[in-house]
Structure 1
Amino acid sequence: MKNPDEFPSAEVVGFGQFTLMPAERLLKCEGSPIILGGRAMDILITLVGQAGTVVSKKELIARTWPDVTVDESGLRHHVFALRKALKDDRNGNRYITNVPGRGYSFVAPVVRGGKGESRHASTRADKTMLPHGLPPLLTRMVGRDEEVRDISARLTEHRFVTITGGAGMGKTTVAVSVAHELAATCEGVTWFIDFSEISDPDSVPGVLATALGITALTPDQLRSLGVFGGDKRVLLLLDNCEHLVGVVAKLAQQLFKGVPGIHILASSREALQADSEHVYRLQPLGGPPMVPSLSAVEAMAYPAVQLFIERAATNGIEVTLTDAEAPIVSEICGHLDGMPLAICVAAGRVGAHGLSGLAHLLSHPSCWLRWNGPRTVHSRHQTLDSLLDWSYDLLAENERLILRRLSVFATNFTLEGACAIAADTDITQEMIADVICSLVTKSLVSTAIDASTVTYRLLETTRAYARKKLMQTAESDTIVRRHADYLSRVLRGRCEDRVIVRGEPTRHATRPANLHAASR
């Protein structure tokens, strides 16, 4: 959070075609000064200083009129004037958005830094003086060093990489780390664009053009970006693309072909499926086996346990892991399937419940899905429930229905098992095969392939969420009975549902977890 006097005296802040010098209270558009009233300038400086977050109307009024009583109508008037000066919402440009009931947010990508001499040049020249504009690195990232090196190498070689993975896997953290590493090892130009606040696909071209400091994504202007970078790397980081994959894929491909030497790194829960894209699937953090003989030294060799212990410590609970506690922590990490966000949320509860109490609570997913995480993260990351709402809401209705039905499987299942549970008069086996493929692509279902068969599995957090959704429907009892009947047929050796995939299902269907789920 920055007041005007908290910006370094020589700092230049860039967004789109604009350059803001807070200390001098000066705004320029492509090098030309913009006339802006004092109150509107105060509002702009406050919003830009907290770009990407929602600033309450109360705070804006207090910052802009510190010694005067003003109602919200006065604030709205000056926000309107500011938007008009920025030509907000024209030609796809978006800078300031109103968040009903909360306040205002500056949503355009912001690049900070620069020296005073750049302020008399054009915006394009200003941007050469600005740093990469990336979000800050975490103090310590646990268990992802190898992935960062691997993605960096792939991005250097192929120039277009998308990091995919389930909700809460840390895709943004890894992507930002890769971008920092490349920015540190090779001086160049870097843009960071977070699409999480962009809901309208039609606005994406304007948002991209604004962030890149051009008026439109035309071939000539795209080529100018490559000239701007010269012989330096031009890196574009596109974050949170899953709800805009169609339009982002087309534009990323256009940029890849139109900007000489550009490197594009995207993060999304599903691949963009662009022609030149290389996909990197980010896996859960490795965790130890859940065996009673596990020692503390063995457990601490796994990144999931390391993250849990570190996050407990940041919440004021120093856990010195003993051999007796190692299997309990292993059980906790196993319940959470190595999902970094879930591990961080659970670690925050150690002080209230202890290790054994926490492990017990995690066996009842309906409660821990609602546990609160850090207050400083995006609202959809503050609980696992809200995190999965985002993915679930992006699904087609038939995908939601089949995902709910598959939640009765507590562990691995085959395609024929999925058909036995999910098929009915309206849902064919071919449709189920297509939907499972889509759910795998969208990081909601994982696969395991061996020499004899392919099996599928919902991560425990996804399964708990989908199970909760199933229990809210009128068909829940029917699907649970269907699951029990299917397992009964398998156990009797009379399963006759082998239509699409022929394989021996008994080994997976009769695992204790599935039998236990069917007996509830």
Structure 2
Amino acid sequence: MHDFNMSPEEKGLRFGRFVLYPQRRLLLDGDRPLRIGGRALDILLVLVESAGKIVSKEAIISRVWPRTFVEEINLRVHISALRRALGTCPEARHYIANVRQRGYSFVAYVEQVNNGGVQLLPFRSELPVRLTRIEGRDPLIEEMQRKVASRRLISLVGPGGVGKTTVALRVAQQSLGRFRDGVRFIDLSTLETAEQLPSKVATELGLETGEGEPLARIAEFLRERQMLLVLDNCEHLIDGCASLAEDLLRAGPAVSIITTSRESLRTEGEYVQPLAALEVPPARSRLGVREALRYPAFRLFVRRAKARQADFVLQAADVRRIGEICRRLGGMPLALELAAAQVDAQGCVGVLAWLDGPAYLDALGRRTAPARQQTLRASLDWSFALLDDEERGCLLALAALDDGVTLAELACAASMDEPRASASLSRLLAKSLISVEAYGAAARYRMSLCLRVYLREKLAGAPS
């Protein structure tokens, strides 16, 4: 083994089979030094020190070439050389992910070690990295980052397809440096019963799940940890998740939690952050291209259309059509992405006509998306399956009526007395399935066009 005359206390950053010693500007591949250029090493230092975060190209260039003007191609050349030198990452295809239009992110697990191999201040950057730009959420993400510093439990609540996971992940990525022991992302969507929750959490924390009580092992692990846990997709196990969140917070005084769900946990100390749809261009407006692109829903649709069709050019004649598409889809990110994917085959005129029927509910999205997000129908099926019979009856009755009905009108249509109908409406509101607006002296209840189309298909007895 090579002797580099290091003191036992000298700290390094370990990822995969590599250890990086920043002070010595030394990268070891096992027990041998890996020869890479000085600029490439500078870039690696910037990225590894911000593991799990997205570092803009401008920020990297300003750190690595502080007094020299260089083209972006120089950065890309060094990134390619680093990827070749490091090879395949155990957790992803590359150690360095290219986050389109945002920059680069170092995605491997990183831990700080001393020369004696003693692990110090471990942190793991195992958060999924989003490869596309997030539209219209920057103010909310910044606000949630501030809230994470003072609120131990934040529940991000909204309807399916609104982007809860995306926002929670971005907040978690940008909070990595605040938590000594890192961040863990725990996807609960595949679990079927609340009894599976403790074992799932234990596994994601790297704890063995043999015989014994997993909650006791989790409590012991969290007692001295300063961590952020993201519990994603809580709605189908909401009661169990509420109990679990309280148990985790009691076990770890320095632990914080972000949950995503279609309804709040209703636990002690919970801060509920609603997530609304993206803002859409107003109806009957004569917007130019530049004005229309100020609306996040419009920008998202255009970006996704360009990603699908390389020669897509936004024409002035398309502004009105895309604005109408955004309004019909209620500014829902998942629905907009699925619709934009059809532009290459149908054009904006065809997509607008396509929304007149229910076929768009079955449009396929990303192959790698969770099953419940690969189509709008799958997302709505997930929500509908979580309702009790009375909630389903109330929702179907609401779908059969024109948009914006009163409690009295709904109770009559659903053959319910008003107290029962009111209770069902309150639960549907809590589950992010409907909205309410004040209209004079009476409240009026509404639902999205996607949900109305889905439910009317059920009312007509069509297969789903």
Please report the TM-score for the alignment, with normalisation by the length of structure 1: 0.65
CA contact (8 A) 1:404 1:470 kept: yes
CA distance in 1, matches of 2:336, 2:293: 15
Counterpart mapping for 1:200-219 below 5 A: 200-214=193-207, 216=213
- Counterpart code for 1:181: Q
1:165 is matched with which residue?
158
Alpha-carbon distance change, 403 to 139 in structure 1, aligned in 2, over 3 angstroms:
same
Match of 1:345, SS?
A: helix
CA distance in 2, matches of 1:156, 1:451: 40
Alpha-carbon distance change, 352 to 416 in structure 1, aligned in 2, over 3 angstroms:
same
- Counterpart code for 1:151: M
Question: CA offsets, 1:84-121, max 9 Å, x none?
Answer: xxxxxxxxxxxxxxxxxxxxxxxxxxx95246969997
Match of 1:266, SS?
A: strand
CA contact (8 A) 1:295 1:322 kept: no
- Counterpart code for 2:385: D
CA distance in 1, matches of 2:158, 2:116: 44
CA distance in 2, matches of 1:412, 1:268: 25
Alpha-carbon distance change, 10 to 248 in structure 1, aligned in 2, over 3 angstroms:
same
Match of 2:303, SS?
A: helix
Identical-pair percentage: 32
- State which of 378, 384, 389 in structure 2 corresponds to 1:386: 378
CA distance in 1, matches of 2:404, 2:277: 17
Q: What is the alpha-carbon root mean square deviation over aligned residues?
A: 3.0
Cα distance, 1:385 vs structure 2: 0.6
Counterpart mapping for 1:408-427 below 5 A: 408-423=400-415, 427=416
Which sections of structure 1, spanning at least 5 residues, go unmatched?
Answer: 1-6, 12-22, 24-47, 52-110, 474-520
Counterpart mapping for 1:272-291 below 5 A: 272-291=265-284
Cα distance, 1:209 vs structure 2: 2.7
2:446 is matched with which residue?
457
1:9 is matched with which residue?
17
CA contact (8 A) 2:110 2:124 kept: yes
Alpha-carbon distance change, 132 to 49 in structure 1, aligned in 2, over 3 angstroms:
closer
CA contact (8 A) 1:10 1:115 kept: no
Instruction: Say which is worse superposed, 343-352 or 312-321, in terms of deviation.
Output: 312-321
CA distance in 1, matches of 2:379, 2:347: 25
Match of 1:191, SS?
A: strand
Counterpart mapping for 1:479-494 below 5 A: none
CA distance in 2, matches of 1:254, 1:208: 12
Alpha-carbon distance change, 318 to 270 in structure 1, aligned in 2, over 3 angstroms:
farther
Counterpart mapping for 1:33-44 below 5 A: none
- Counterpart code for 1:394: L
Question: CA offsets, 1:254-293, max 9 Å, x none?
Answer: 2122311211100011111111111111000000012152
- State which of 125, 133, 138 in structure 1 corresponds to 2:131: 138
Counterpart mapping for 1:181-192 below 5 A: 181-184=174-177, 187-192=180-185
- State which of 293, 299, 303 in structure 1 corresponds to 2:296: 303
- Counterpart code for 1:337: G
CA distance in 2, matches of 1:354, 1:204: 45
Please report the TM-score for the alignment, with normalisation by the length of structure 2: 0.72
Higher helix proportion: 1
CA contact (8 A) 2:407 2:418 kept: no
CA distance in 1, matches of 2:441, 2:310: 46
Question: CA offsets, 1:314-356, max 9 Å, x none?
Answer: 1025443333321111111111100000000000111111111
2:70 is matched with which residue?
none
Cα distance, 1:294 vs structure 2: 2.8
Residue 363, structure 1, aligned to residue 370, structure 2:
no
Which sections of structure 2, spanning at least 5 residues, go unmatched?
Answer: 1-14, 20-29, 31-89, 94-106
Alpha-carbon distance change, 317 to 335 in structure 1, aligned in 2, over 3 angstroms:
farther
Alpha-carbon distance change, 428 to 344 in structure 1, aligned in 2, over 3 angstroms:
same
Cα distance, 1:49 vs structure 2: 5.6
- Counterpart code for 1:222: A
Cα distance, 1:445 vs structure 2: 0.7
Residue 405, structure 1, aligned to residue 387, structure 2:
no
Cα distance, 1:409 vs structure 2: 3.1
CA contact (8 A) 2:91 2:108 kept: no
Alpha-carbon distance change, 330 to 247 in structure 1, aligned in 2, over 3 angstroms:
same
